[in-house]
Chains A and B, each alone.
Chain A
Amino acid sequence: MATFDIPIGPQHPALPEPLLLKLEVEGETVVGVDFDVSYMHRGIEKLLETKTYFQGLPLVERICGICNAAHGLCYTLNVEKLYDKEIPPRAQYLRLIVEELSRIHSHLLWLGVAAFEIGFNTMFMYTWRDREYVMDMLEAITGNRVTTEYSQIGGVRRDISPELADKLLKTMNVVEERTKYYIKVALTEPTIAKRTQGVGYLSPEDAKSTCSVGPIIRASGIKFDIRADDPYAAHEEVPFNVITYDSCDVFGRVVVRAQELLECVNMIRYALKNLPSGPFRIKLPMKPNAGEALTRVEAPRGELLHYTLCEGTPKPYRYKVRTPTLANLGALRAMLTSKGRYVVNIGDVPIIYGSIDPCICCTARVQFIDIKKDKTWTWTLDEIRNRSRRMRV
């Protein structure tokens, strides 16, 4: 029984958040997977019970920095359900705009990081340069580049002025043009296709039974998008297409994300044109009514769920958060386990892993258990990635 330990955690600036993957392999073939997410456990659910609903909002936004807009939105929608008060429609539209903006930022970020991962530094630099336009808009609307804190209990923090709306529309034109260029590169570049097609197969049945969410399930050809199925904010009124793709592999996930970018641009345009007038925020008391509420929101990585139980005190009795990545772990395992003609080589692991756009990554270490030889060892993702260079066909 030999266990290796890596002296240095892999610190590269891309893909943060640690997760321990335990892979069972037979020779070079992956036959089983297990996870350990304890590196990132910060006890947020317990912590939320010690804070009032108003204090909880900033904490919820910091469950994760990348789709914090979705977390904040979900939290506020959820808590508002306890109050039984109508939220002004203008606030709902503004929330939608910021949510979609942050989706653009998240998908562009993923594109850049993916390029960075394959050593395409120039592409990474260009996507991130263009992402800055989106960041500037987010900053101008919400007051911070990444952590938006835009959606507040009772509405949104501030209004979008006509000048700002104008600027936003102009930015959308730039973003659309650049996005089209990147889509062209990503979809026609043969090396990308070679490394993604037929890899990480997730059949529609598995996608359903493992309860996967977001671009993963949509790339398996299933129309499942909370924005359409369980509309919140202004999604009932703003038209959009649910992008699906039926190749069920990593390539499909690239296509779905890329096409979604253009959808987001159109939604923002529509919402800005049809922005209702009226107040953007109402004041709500510190103490909500007793009861329970459940809200689902489509975050960039998929369905996000918040549930709360309130006993009529300013603090939640219980607050439950289910993040998209947790939901996709089951799907990840299905993708990583060889079955039938879809044999998963150790070398495929990083690409498949990256395709769920995990926010738990990087320090991620993979433990192999060879059930035949009864031996255990630990590798970093990077080491596997490196093996892939040799063994991928």
Chain B
Amino acid sequence: MSLESFLFEALKIIFFPGFVFIFILALFYEWFDRKFYAKLQNRVGPLYAGPLGILQPLADFIKLLSKEDIVPKGVDKVLFTATPLFSLSLSIFATLLLPIFSVKGLLSFEGDLVIAVVLLTFLCIITFFAGVASYNRFSIIGAERSFLQLIGYEIPLMISVISVALNAQSVTISSIVSSQKGLWYILGPNILGFIVFIFAAQAELERIPFDLPEAEQELIAGWNIDYTGRRLAMFRLAKNIELVFLCGLAAALFLGGPLGPVVSGYEPILYTIYFIIKSIFVLAILTIVRALFARLRIDQIVSLSWKYLLPLAIIQFLIVRLMI
């Protein structure tokens, strides 16, 4: 590899569509989520930090970085320090798989869809360890709940992803995206899969109605109760990046990812724009779901997933199976 192309790759990783771009996107998505949520509730939401409050997540982030960092007595120091870092780096790594500016992600290899799903599970496991590390009753219960949820939604999520893969005859994100040139999968046979994916994503992100692990009225703050300052900032950023990742993954798998009418020569820019529009559409759906429901009980969540999501996912799978 020549030096120039190496530098070019490095720039790509650092700026676009690498770390910096993801960072900005993550903050932007959080802002959109909060603003839209407020709008649905007839409020205004963040307003004064930057135009329309668009810098609100940035302000939160910087403020948290600058706060005093407390390590409470009795926590597992190693885990307490390591989990935020792990969580952040895993989520960034996952995002690099997204096909943002072309049908291929920054990282793209045979079978990367499998890796993406596995990363999601890892993120959840890290949440569990983060909760256990602070050895506080609330956080342990929160951690335990996040694990229990995992049992509920993981399998439907996987099946819905598998049916897409089956449809495209591939487990590589880039080829799934390019196979949607003719017809997006959501318009095709995969509409049920999309619904399952949305609910599973909501659960993965621990948002209402699946926000049991950090339910404020019940657990105060759940698994992250003892984290302050930098560590909390990292966790929040990781959550936002995960949000980007899941919205992006939904867009890539069901909405044709970055595809759309293009003027030749401007593909990367247009692709990026299409990608962002589509994933924000997914985000808006997620936000509406958040505003629409009350929190479920943990047993309700599990029975919901097994009674409804799983059969839906299996029907989806059978439809695809029969079509091919």
Contacts and interface: CB of A to CB of B under 8 A. Distances in A.
A121 B208 contact: yes
Nearest to B72: A7
Of B40, B208, B297, the most chain A CB neighbours within 10 A belong to B297
B253 to A, nearest CB: 29
Contacts of B219: 382, 386
A14 B216 CA distance: 11
A383 B141 contact: yes
A230 to B, nearest CB: 38
Interface stretch (B17-25, B77-85, B287-295): B287-295
B248 interface: no
A284 to B, nearest CB: 47
B41 interface: yes
B41 A116 contact: no
Contacts of A123: 294
Interface size of B as a range: 20 to 34
A385 interface: yes
Contacts of B297: 388-390, 392
B298 A382 contact: no
Contacts of B292: 122
Interface size of A as a range: 20 to 34
B137 A383 contact: yes
Contacts of A125: 41-43
A115 B41 contact: no
Contacts of A121: 41, 208, 291
B126 interface: no
A390 B298 contact: yes
Given A121-B208, A383-B137, A383-B141, A10 B220 contact: yes
B264 interface: no
A195 to B, nearest CB: 8
Contacts of A383: 137-138, 141
B213 to A, nearest CB: 10
A12 B299 contact: no
B217 A119 contact: yes
A202 B278 CA distance: 54
17 contacts: A6-B137, A12-B216, A12-B220, A118-B294, A118-B295, A119-B209, A119-B211, A120-B295, A121-B41, A121-B291, A122-B40, A125-B42, A191-B300, A386-B141, A386-B145, A386-B218, A388-B297
Given A7-B136, A14-B217, A118-B294, 7 more contacts: A4-B137, A6-B137, A12-B216, A115-B294, A125-B43, A382-B219, A386-B218
